[in-house]
């Protein structure tokens, strides 16, 4: 069983009743020497998360050796995620880390903002319990 160390951060938006959009990035860092800088970039996003429009919450997670860095972000809707993905800060991180590792992105709709349920859904994807979802 793979274990993940994870930290939650509330976002800018007040959770509403009903469906939410979830996006997960599963990033496998090629070289151990790059793990600290990848982790720092993730923590910068985490610090700014309360000011991220449309964000309901964010987990930053990693495996014990740190080579597998994961983010699970929860959004009001897909348009909020698209706005974030097109932001200058996100584009810069994508550019800076393009060659440092391999990224698998997965998105889904959760019935509601239920942190326990959403993390369970993420773990099912991260550990290969869902055969149709790629993972490291």
pLDDT tens for each residue of 49-98: 999 999 999 999 999 999 999 999 999 999 999 999 999 999 999 999 99
Say whether pLDDT at 118 is over 70.
Answer: yes
Question: Which is nearest to 9 in space by CA: 52, 47, 54?
Answer: 47
Q: Name residues whose C-beta falls within 8 Å of residue 134's C-beta, 6 or more positions apart in sequence.
A: 104, 106
Average pLDDT, the chain: 93
Three-point CA angle 126, 130, 135, nearest 5°: 35
């Amino acid at each position: 069983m793979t274990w993940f160390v994870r930290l939650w951060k509330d976002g800018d938006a007040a959770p509403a009743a009903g469906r939410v959009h979830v996006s997960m990035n599963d990033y496998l860092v090629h070289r151990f020497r790059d793990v600290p800088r990848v982790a720092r970039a993730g923590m910068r996003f985490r610090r700014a998360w309360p000011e991220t429009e449309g964000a309901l919450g964010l987990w930053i997670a990693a495996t014990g050796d740190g080579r597998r860095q994961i983010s699970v972000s929860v959004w009001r809707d897909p348009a909020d995620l698209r706005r974030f993905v097109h932001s200058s800060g996100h584009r810069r991180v994508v550019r800076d880390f393009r060659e440092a590792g391999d990224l698998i992105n997965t998105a889904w709709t959760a019935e509601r903002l239920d942190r326990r349920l959403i993390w369970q859904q993420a773990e099912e994807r991260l550990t290969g319990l869902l055969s149709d979802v790629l993972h490291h």
